Amino acid sequence: MACAKDNSLSETDIKIMQSIKETSLSIDDIATQTEMPLFRVRSVLRKLAENNLVKESEGKYTVVEQ
C-alpha cells in the first residue's frame, strides 16, 4: 500500500472536466469530444463523481460548481 493517497487531478481528469464545463454531455459525446475510449471515460467519470467533482443527470454529466 502506498504511504499516502494521490488525490491530484490527472491531465485526463482535467480534459474530461473541461469538456463538460459549459454544457452537460453523455458519455458517448464526451468520448467523441475528448477522443478517448469509452472505458476510460466511464472510469474517470466514476472517480470524479465519487469525489463530487461531476454529477450525472438523465445520462448526462456536468461539472459540480465548487
Partner 1 sequence: MSDVQQVEVKEEVRSLPRIGSPAPQFEAVTTHGNLKLEDYKGSWLILFSHPADFTPVCTTEFIGFQEIYPQLKEMNTELLGLSIDSVHSHIAWVRNIEQNFGTKIEFPVIADLTMDVAQRYGMIMPDESSTEASRAVFVIDDKQVVRAIIYYPLSTGRNMDEMLRLVKALQTADQHQVATPADWREGDKVIVPPAVTQEGAASRMEDKNMECVDFYFCKRDL
Chain positions contacting partner 1, by CB under 8 A: 2, 37-40, 42-44, 46-47
**Taking the CB of residue 16, how many other CB atoms lie within 10 A of it?**
28
Residue closer to partner 1 (CB basis): 22 or 52: 52
**Cβ at position 28, least distance to partner 1 in Å:** 9
Query: In terms of CB distance, is 11 or 65 closer to partner 1?
Result: 11
- Least Å distance between CB 39 and partner 1? 4
